[in-house]
Structure formats: C-alpha cells, structure tokens
Structure 1
Amino acid sequence: MSASTPLRTALIGVALAATALVPLQGTALAAPAHPASGGSAAAPAAASSVSGIEDATARALARSLADPAWRGEVRRAALAADTVGLGGLTGRAAAPAGRNLAAGIAEADRGVAAAKGLGSGAGPLLRVGLANASMRGRLAAGTAPLVAAAPSDDDGATTFTAYDSRGTAHRLALDTPTSRPVYLVGIDGAKAVAEGLKVIDGALAAKGLNAPAPATTASTLAAASGIDTTRVDSVRVADVQEPFFKGDAEIFTLVTGFGKDGKPRVDTVEMPYLNKADTTYYPGQVLVNWSNYKYDLADAVMMEDDGDTNYQALAKAIATVLLTITDQGAYIPLADAVLDAIPTSWWTDDPDYVESWYSLARSSSGKRNGAAGNGWMTVSPYHVSEL
C-alpha cells in the first residue's frame, strides 16, 4: 500500500517466485478468443465485486497478450516500473490489441470505484505489475507470461488462478517452482483508501458526526494560541491482517469520541506507512485533534482495507449505530460501537480489525498496548502552535 507499491495485491513476495503451474481441468471460461492479429480484445466482465473485476481483467489482459506487439509493450512497461496503471497503458498503446482493450479497462475502473463506494473523482485504480522482481530476467528473455489476480480471501489459500494468452486457467501453487513470469492485476490500494476516507468523512459530516466545533469565545481564544493534539511517535503491529501473498496492507484508523456538540464523532486517519507486520514505524503523526472533542478522552480503531471494502456502506453502518448513542454527561467508550457496526460478512477480506485503543487521554504519554494484544504505539501530547 505504500506510495512505492500502490498495487493492492502488490508484489506477492519470494514465495510466489516458487509456484507450480497446473492447468485446471474442465474449467469453462466464457471470454471470447482474442486474435493474435490484434482484433477485438475481450473486455473485462462487469463483476459486482472488486475481486471479480480483477479476475475478469486479468483474464482479458492475458488473452490480449496473444498479440506479440502488445505483449512487448506490456513487457517493457513491467520492466520499467514495479506497477503501471492499466488505463494509461492501454490508452497510449500502439498495438491494436492494447487499444482494443482500453474501453474494457475503463469500464472495469468504473466498476471498481462503484464496488468500493467511491466517487467519480477516484479515477483509474487498476494496475498491473510483475508478481516478484525475481521474474524480471525470465520476462526480459521473452518467456510468455501468465496473468492473475491475487486471491481475495483470508482463508489460508495456498493456490490461485492465472491465465495464459489462450484464456486457459492454470492453478498456481505457492510451494513449487515455475519457469514462467506472472503479471498481477490489482488496484491502487493507497489511492483507494485515500478516496474512501474522503467518502466516509463526507457521509459522516452529512449526519453531523464530524462537524466542526462550534465557535465560542473560549474556542476562538484557544485556536489563536494553537491546538492540542496527541501524536503517534512510534507504532508496531504483529499482524496487519493482510495475507502474505497480497503484499503491503492498507491501514487506516477511526478516532472516536464525543464532539463539542455532544454527538458521537469519528475522524479518519490514513496511515499509508504502516504496511508491514512486526515492523516499528516512527511517523510523528497527529492522531487526535482535541479541539474537536468535548471530553479529554477518545478511542482509536485501526482497520485494514482488504479490497472489496465499500466505503459508503461502511460509513452508513457506523453512522446508523453512533446516532443511537447520546451524551450522558460523561465519557463513554465508542470503539465497541464502531466494531459492532461492521457487518459480520465484512470480516473476511474486507475491512479487517487490526487493533484498538480505549480511553486515550489528552495527557497520554508513552507506550500504549492495544486491547487485542496485536500492537502498540507510543504517544505524546503535542501542541501545534498558530502560524
């Protein structure tokens, strides 16, 4: 998910460099044949889920590679960068097969945005890149590649499906070598999270759940002297809830408490740097802006976007629960309410729960272990002075 590796399925890791190629028997694939002469390419199917769109796109791209000229263009792009946007790649294609694929990719990009509940401003999200850098030599030497979308579930899968230029499906095993390079089709996870949090912010604002603090004489004076915040000095999680074959995680945090108006409040915090398990990061990132909160306490719920997250639906679910909670004149932890709002069906390869911190105080300082025992962070009060 980091800026250098924006593909959601990312680079699978060393394990994928050792995969087995096993043709699937009796698999019916309904994509029309793509002629090597550069005729009409198979457009990605209009699947309802992100994983379905990725798989259909991978299959269509694989069939289009029957055109040698287009296959060369894709190869050069894959060797030049870790990942490349499919919309841009097909849009500027010189080979007919690439140009013929452009409309289907544009449709698939719109389908991804719709499936994730993103606005029209999300732009192209689908990307493609080599599954592992160790495959570069074989690709450069002209070995015919396969194309796959990484698995989109958290059930401990050890295989996934890839396609060749005839549209034939092959099962790739994670523990046996193969001599063929593999392209992975996925989405720009960092971009999707950034756009998704904008959707959540807008939806919650419409319900009054992250409204600006009302102006008062006291708040005006406080603003004039700066604002008090809680800063994350360092953070580490043992499990980012991202299967190893998917690469980097896409982490975000929901900060909850009661706003100045007495209503529950949710502020979204993007954490694009926090993408590896058992790695300590030192972001110096502001987590809580206390000028937004009535009490000197707040909760934080850390989540991971696993691809099929629909941000509009997530915001609606959270708002529905929080709007039933009223201020009783004392702080009430809201982390459980946020977690309870997430439908059970979303806990498999959707926004996964990573960790939570209860009752972060305005004065909190030092190491705070998460409630789930999966992570910790060190925090400190941090005053942001007026410019």
Structure 2
Amino acid sequence: MRPRRLRTRGAVAALAGTLLALSVGQTAVAARATAADPAPRTAATVSAAQDQAARAIARSLTDSTWRARVQRAALTSDEVPVTALAAREAGPLKATLAAADRRITAAKGLDATAGSLLRLRLGADAMRAALRSGTTPWVAAATSDDDTRTLVAYDSRGRSHTLDAHDTPARPVYIVDIDGSAALAAGLDVLSDRLNRYGLRSTAPDAQPRVGHAAGARTAGGGFWTSRITAVELSDDEEPWAKGDAEIYTLVTGFGQDGAVRVDPVDMPYLDNDGTVYRPNQILVNWSNYKYDLADAVMMEEDGSTNYRDLAKAIATVLLTITDQGSYIPLVNAVLDAIPDDWWTDDPDYVDSWYTLARSDTGTRYGARGNGWMTVEPYFVQEL
C-alpha cells in the first residue's frame, strides 16, 4: 500500500509560515523558466496510453500461444516488460505498445534514453491459481487515483467490465502500469539537469557526494558531515488492489555555499510500502553543499502523473525569487506553492515535509503533516 497523501493546498500552507524575499536581479532568470513550453497534461495522457495498451493486450489474448507466453511471464516476474515481450510477435500489438510507450515518455518530460516504461503485472497474488488453471485474464489500466471505487477491465473480445477497486476479483486481471522505478530514476536526472539550466544548483541523485569548501562542512582530516536516515516509515491507508508499490523521492532544499537556493533530489527506491519500517542508512543531506546548518525536505511520490520538466520549471520559477537574507529561511512552503494546481485537485504527489532539519539532529523527526517519520543522525563521510 502507498502512503496517504494530502488533498488541499490550504492545509499545507497552514503548517508553517515562510519568509520569502524577492530579488530583482534573479527575476530575469526566473522568467526563462516560466517561458518554457508547457507540456500536455501528464496524468490524462499517461492514463489514456495505458488504457489503449490494456485494450490491445486484452484482444491479443485470443492467440493461445501468445496468451501462454504472457502467462508464464506474469507468473515468474513481478513486472513484465510487455513492449519488449510483444516485439517478437506478429501483428499490430507491438506497434500499439511502442506508440503508447512513446506517448508516456513524452508526457512525463523524459527522452528516449528512459527506455520502455510500460509494464504488465498480475493484479494480486490471490489470482495466481485461477491464472494457472487456464482462465483467460481480463486486462485493466492501473489507476493513479487513491480514492477510485471502480476500474474498467477488458476481455479478449474487447468488452469492458466494471470492477470494484477494493474487492479483489476471483478472475485473474492483468494490470498495465509503468515502471515507476525507471521513470523516477530518469525523471530525477531530468529534474536535476533542468534545475541547473534554470540557475538553481542541483546534484543528480546518482552522483557521488561532493566535498564542500565551507568552514564547518569540511574538516581538516578530509571529509564532510551528512545527515543520514537510519529508519523511516510512512502511514498506511486502504487503497485499490490494482495499485502497485509507491516510488518515493525527496527534494532537499536550502541555501548553497554561494547563498543561492539549491534543490537536491534524493531517490528512495526502497520505500515501496507504507506501514513498514525501513532502515536504509541513506544519506539525505550533504552539508558540504549548504551554507547554513539547516535544510528542508519535501517528500514526493512518482505515480505516473509527474512531468519532470514541468516540475523543474515550476520550482525554478518560485525559488529563483528567494534570496539569502543572512539567516536561514524555510523553503518547504515555497516548494509546495510551486507544485501545479492540478497535482493537488486531481491526484496529489505530495507525501510529507520536514522543516529545518539541522546538521546536529539526532533521533526521530515527524513529518509536518503527520504522514511519516524518519530517524536521522549526523554521519561523517571520510574523504578517500
């Protein structure tokens, strides 16, 4: 199950006040971000592409040889790269899936290097026996709406069937979804690259931590201080059976050594399920990148509706107007204000936030909206 997420922007704004100072010198840079071409509405495009793929796959299951091949793959793998599987087949299916993949990639602001994102999986483990017995599965597109009550599945004759989203059906159902891990990894690279282009410093999540030059961040022995997560848990909530694991990432924000705002994305690929305590020993903040011994963290979820180019543009437009006033200014509200409105009213991607994490923090910190907690500790990284 995925983490419970907030539904109204107003509730977040009430969590804490944020002091924002406008900088005339940075307005032109922010305007460059605003001038970027808008992308199509991501959630609707991704949903339509998945639905089209689900219809095509359902019809293709009339071929007994192909049906058996998909069945074997679904029973032996949690996620089947269905576009690649279909590439060896004759007929229109491979072209339909390849086209759906391209639309999803473009809608999410990714390029071709992200590869095929479409995945097929069995809706629930309880369906395995019926699938093995030879029952022809129906096929449905994954939902990104936590509150959905029904979803539509297609049979091999192209007919639609309405299923209860919270009552797992006896008939096996294949779910067409996207590879959230691959989408997030590619997306965070795009996000970091775009933020750097707009003038916000950002370190790619797969980059090695860099030793900074600030007094107090780097020591005489050669190395730097970080804050690492020793344990983390997100709250649980009842959700549709057709939803897969969450894909969580955190945007760490603060003021860089040059006094300008920076945003560092942190991928958290292990945080699949809520109600589970994870102990990753993951570095969250590299203090050598920051001027102050304080930073903020905004935890987000990749659920198919994220366009990373749009996210970078929105964040840059807001954060580039904030200047260093000689003391730390919390940046959580600024990041939340930058999130496009439809991410809140349709299917929000915001999970929780942590204001003013300190370099000296040791122990458990609860998120501002009460959706999660994490235990942090100072951790020294020795220079090689």
Do they fold alike, i.e. is TM over 0.5?
Answer: yes
State the AA in 1 paired with 2:107: A
Tell me if 1:121 matches 2:113.
yes
Rounded Cα–Cα distance in structure 1 between residues aligned with 2:280 and 2:213:
33
Counterpart for residue 159 of structure 1: 150
Evaluate the alpha carbon distance shift between residue 135 and residue 220 of structure 1 in structure 2; reply closer, same or farther with a 3 A threshold: closer
The 10-residue stretch of structure 1 (81-90 or 376-385) with the greater mean CA deviation from structure 2:
81-90
Distance 1:351 1:204 in 2: 21
- Give the aligned partner of residue 284 of structure 1: 281
Partner of 2:245: 248
1:328-339 → structure 2 map (5 Å cutoff): 328-339=325-336
Alpha-carbon separation, structure 1, partners of 2:166 and 2:215: 63
Deviation at 1:265, TM superposition (A): 0.6
> What is the aligned partner in structure 2 of residue 103 from structure 1?
95
Give the alignment's TM-score, normalised by structure 1.
0.81
Bigger shift: residues 142-151 or 174-183: 174-183
Letter matched to residue 334 of structure 2: A
Question: Which structure has the higher relative contact order (CA within 8 Å, separation 6+)?
Answer: 2
190, 193, 197: which is aligned to 2:188?
A: 197
1:1-387 correspondence runs (5 A): 49-93=45-89, 96-97=90-91, 100-154=92-146, 156-174=147-165, 178-210=169-201, 222=219, 225-239=222-236, 245-348=242-345, 350=347, 352-387=349-384
* Alpha-carbon distance between aligned partners in 2 of 1:103 and 1:146, rounded to the nearest angstrom: 21
Deviations 1:325-354 (A, max 9, x none): 111111100011000100221125655211
Equivalent pairs counted in the alignment come to 339
- CA shift for structure 1 position 364: 0.9
Unaligned runs of 5+ in 2: 3-42, 204-209
Query: Any stretches of 5+ residues in structure 1 without a counterpart?
Result: 3-46
Shift of residue 315, structure 1, vs aligned partner: 0.8
Question: Percent identical across equivalent pairs?
Answer: 58
CA RMSD of aligned residues (A): 2.6
Q: Does the CA-based 8 Å contact 1:48-1:115 persist in structure 2?
A: no
> Which residue does the alignment assign to 1:8?
none
> Cα deviations across residues 41-69 of structure 1 (Å, max 9, x unaligned)?
xxxxxx96111111110001111112222
Moved more, 222-231 or 250-259: 222-231
Amino acid across the alignment from 1:116: K
Q: Is the 8 A contact 1:242 1:249 kept in 2?
A: no
Aligned-partner Cα distance in 2 for 1:125–1:146? 21
Tell me the TM-score normalized by structure 2: 0.82
Whether the aligned pair in 1 keeps the contact of 2:117 and 2:183 (CA below 8 Å) is yes
Q: CA deviation at 1:174?
A: 4.0
Residues 308 and 222 from structure 1, CA distance in 2 versus in 1: closer, same or farther, beyond 3 angstroms? same
Residue type at the aligned position of 2:66: W
